[in-house]
Amino acid sequence: MRTVCDEVRCGSRLHRTVKKYGIPPSTLRGRLDGHLPHLVAYQDAQRLSMVQEDELADWVLFQASIREAPTY
């Protein structure tokens, strides 16, 4: 997305860039206006932090590798 925004800032037309990369025009306009991606903007509202989520995923994969069912 950073590359696409840089391309538009350097003079490329928004409409042409949107078609080239297959990005919705509203998404590109929002990013150019400084809006954050949904995942980043609402990170504080998540029950788990990204680090906790990654650790949980690693634990579940480990449990699966030793053929143990994850517990609650």
Residue 22 is encoded by which pair of tokens? 């297959």
Query: Do 25 and 13 contact (CB within 8 A), yes or no?
Result: no
Q: How confident is the model at residue 72 (pLDDT cuts 50, 70, 90)?
A: confident
Phi, psi of 19 (to 5 degrees): -65, -40
Q: Is the dihedral of CA 24, 26, 29, 30 positive or negative?
A: negative
Domain ranges of the chain: 1-35, 42-72
> How far is it, in rounded angstroms, from Cα 37 to Cα 25?
14
Provide the whole-model pTM.
0.55
Structure confidence by residue, pLDDT tens digits, 18-57: 899 999 999 898 988 988 888 788 888 889 988 999 999 9
Number of other CB atoms surrounding residue 18 within 10 Å: 18
Query: Do 60 and 70 contact (CB within 8 A), yes or no?
Result: yes
Q: How confident is the model at residue 1 (pLDDT cuts 50, 70, 90)?
A: confident
